[in-house]
Amino acid sequence: MNSENPSQNVAVIGQGYVGLPLALTLAQRGFKVIGIDVSTDVVNNLNRGVSHVEDVSEGSLNEALNSGRYYSSTDFSRIAGVSTCVICVPTPLGPDREPDISYIESALRFMAPHLNSDVLIINESTSFPGTLNELVIPTLRKLLGDFVDQLLFASAPERIDPGNKIWNFSSTPRVVSGITPEATARALDFYRTICSDVSAVSKPEVAELSKLLENTFRQVNIALINQMVPVAHALGIDMREVIEAAGTKPYGFMKFYPGAGVGGHCIPIDPLYLLWKAGRLGIDLPFIRSADSVNRSMPEYVSKRAIELSNLGKDDTILLLGVAYKSGVADTRETPAKELATSLSKFGVKVFWFDPLVKHFPFAEKWHGKLDVDCSIIVTAQEGLPVSELAQARIPVLDCTGYYRDIEGVTHL
C-alpha cells in the first residue's frame, strides 16, 4: 500500500463489528485505510458498497470507497508499507468455554511476512491481560526473530456498543498503553485523531484488564439482580419497581435490570477470559464464577415461569419475540434466546421465533404471523413486535425486558 504520506497509511485486520467502524472513522479523518478480512464474501460486499454491520451505513461506506481512502482485501500483502496495523478480530469462547485466541494467532501469522520496521501494531481485540506480552510479541518473534525488536506494540481494547447512537468512536474515551514510551506516544497520537478523550496507562496489562473489569462489573451486577427475581416473584412484587425505588437514592446505587440472560460480544465472554487468566495464576474468583452461573441459569428459570404462566404441556407452542442479544440490532452472538429455545424444547414445547431485524436463527422455527400460539416470551424488545396483538388475543405474554409494562395482559419477569 503506497501513499505520499506513509504515516497516514493504516491496516485494520478484521472488518466486523469493531474493525469496519474503525476503518471508516479513520478514512473520514483522512487516513488511507486497507481493511483486511479472511472472508471473501465480506470483502466483495464491502468493495461493492454493501455493509454487513448495522452501525455502518452504506452511505458512509460508499463515501469512503469513492474517496479512495478505504478499500477491503483478503490479501495480507497489501499491508506492506503501512505505519499502523490494528488487530480487530473475534475472541470468542471455545467449546470448553475457555478463550479461543486462534483468530489473533492467525492474524499474526498472516501479517508477519509483510510488516515493515517501525510499524505500530495495536491489539484492539478483547483478550486476557498479558495478551500483548505473552501472545502477540512471542508469536511474532517465533516468526520474525530479532526483527520484532524493530516493531512497536500497543494495547487499546475496543469499546464498541452496537446500536448506541450517543457513544461512538469519537465520543467514547479510550485507554491505551504501549510496550515502550515511543509505542505509547504513537498510540496516543493515533487515537487522538479519532477520539476526543484518550488516556495512557502504565502497562498494556492495565489496559487489557480494564476492559475485562468493565464487563465483569456488569456481569456481576446483572447476576445480582437476576438472582433477586425469584425472591420478588415469590413476594408478589415487581423487581423493576424495586430497582426504580432503590434508584431514587442519589449515591451508592446503580441501576441494573433483570432479563432472560446476558448476550453479546462482551458480558458473557470477557469475565471468562478473566477467570481463565486468574486460573493460570493459581487464583480462584468464585464471585465471578457464581455470577456467570446465575446468568446462564436464567433461560431455564424463564422457561419454567412461562410453563407455569400458561400451563403449557407437551406439543403446545411458544413464541420467542426478539432473539437478538440487545434491542436495535440483528446480532445474535451469545443471545439467551438460544438457550431459552433449547430449555423449552426439553419440556416438549414447540418453539417459534420472530425478530424483525434477525434473518437467521437456527434454534427454533420461524413464526409467520398467525396468532395460534399458546404463549409468548419477549426476550429482547424490538420495534415491530406484535405484543399488543398477542395480549388482545388473550395469549399469555411473559416480558423479560420491562419495555411493555403499560400493555394490559403482559406479565413481567
DSSP 135: I
Residue 164 pLDDT: 83
Q: Which of 162-166, 345-349, 400-404 tops mean pLDDT?
A: 400-404
CATH 3.40.50.720 residue spans of the chain: 6-202, 215-412
How confident is the prediction for the chain on average, in pLDDT?
A: 94
Instruction: Examine the pLDDT at 406 and tell me if it is beyond 70.
Output: yes
SS3 159: coil
Residue 163 pLDDT: 80
Q: What architecture is the 6-202 domain classified under in CATH?
A: 3-Layer(aba) Sandwich (3.40)
Residues 6+ apart with CB under 8 A from 64: 23, 24, 27, 28, 33, 70
Residue numbers annotated as active site: 266
| Cα–Cα dist 3/61, whole Å | 21
DSSP 146: G
Residue 2 pLDDT: 42
Host H or E run for residue 11 = strand 9-13
Q: What number is the average pLDDT over the span 331-336?
A: 95
State pLDDT tens for residues 235-276: 999 999 999 999 999 999 999 999 999 999 899 999 999 999
Read off the pLDDT band of 3 (50, 70, 90).
Answer: very low
| Cα–Cα dist 27/173, whole Å | 20
Unique residue bearing C-alpha cell 475457555: 98
Question: Among 336, 305, 304, 337, which residue's Cα sits nearest to residue 320?
Answer: 337
State pLDDT tens for residues 360-385: 999 999 998 888 899 999 999 999 99
Read off the pLDDT band of 7 (50, 70, 90).
Answer: low
State pLDDT tens for residues 150-181: 999 999 999 988 888 888 888 899 999 999 99
Task: Work out the percent of the chain whose per-residue pLDDT is above 70.
Answer: 98
Host H or E run for residue 226 = helix 204-235
Taking a C-beta distance cutoff of 8 angstroms, is the pair 99, 269 a contact? no
Query: Under CATH, what is the fold of the domain 215-412?
Result: Rossmann fold (3.40.50)
Unique residue bearing C-alpha cell 498479558: 130
Q: What number is the average pLDDT over the span 136-162?
A: 96
Hey, what's the cell of 82?
503501512
Residue 4 pLDDT: 45
Hey, what's the cell of 231?
425472591
Unique residue bearing C-alpha cell 495495536: 122
Hey, what's the cell of 123?
491489539
More confident residue, 16 or 311: 16
Residue 313 pLDDT: 82
Residue 240 pLDDT: 96
Q: What number is the average pLDDT over the span 133-147?
A: 97
